[in-house]
Amino acid sequence: MSKRLSNLNNKIRSWDDALRLRNVWAMKGETVAFTNGCFDILHLGHVSYLAQAADTAQHLIVAINTDASVKALEKAPNRPINPEIARAMVLSALSFVDAVVFFEQQTPLEIIETLKPDVLLKGADYNAEQNNMQAKDYIVGSDIVKSYGGSVQTIPFVEGYSTTGILAKGK
């Protein structure tokens, strides 16, 4: 394997490895941002979103749904298009992504509880102020992050870019 591919592989972490990395950063006084998603077909909207997420802290950890959890979300019968390792490698290639972890649970709550990020981010279809956990725009884990003084933020979308829209164009 080439050195550069090896470097990308090294960004893909187990939960334990990501926690160790997060703790090292915390000991240095460095902040960590966290976001999650499927990131099935990486597009301009994703790149813009992740770059802005990375700007909120010194490090960015991205949690991606495993293939099984993407299927459980029932986005479409053929999703995910790309397998989880391919999605993780593409995200790892972004210079501003410091670590990628997988989660197979229905929500990223457990990994948020584990990593305790300083900043939790989601897209603008969510509401950082929403406290009703049953609301569609509630950000999972926001109550936990806020409880220890972390911040919860949303990032606007780039108009015209979504995986669903891109797939619809191909029909």
Mean pLDDT within 144-166: 85
CA 159 to CA 156: how far, in whole Å? 9
CA 124 to CA 45: how far, in whole Å? 12
Region of poorest pLDDT, from 87-91, 134-138, 158-162 = 158-162
pLDDT in tens, 101-136: 999 999 999 999 999 999 999 999 999 999 999 999
Domain ranges, residue 75: 3-169
For residue 27, how many C-alpha atoms fall within 13 Å in the half-sphere facing its CB?
A: 6
> Is the pLDDT score of 71 beyond 60?
yes
CATH code of 108's domain:
3.40.50.620
Q: Cβ(87)–Cβ(39) under 8 Å?
A: yes
pTM for the model = 0.92
Query: For the chain, how many structural domains are there in total?
Result: 1
Q: Cβ(64)–Cβ(38) under 8 Å?
A: yes
CA 102 to CA 111: how far, in whole Å? 9
Residue 78 binned pLDDT confidence (cut-offs 50, 70, 90): confident
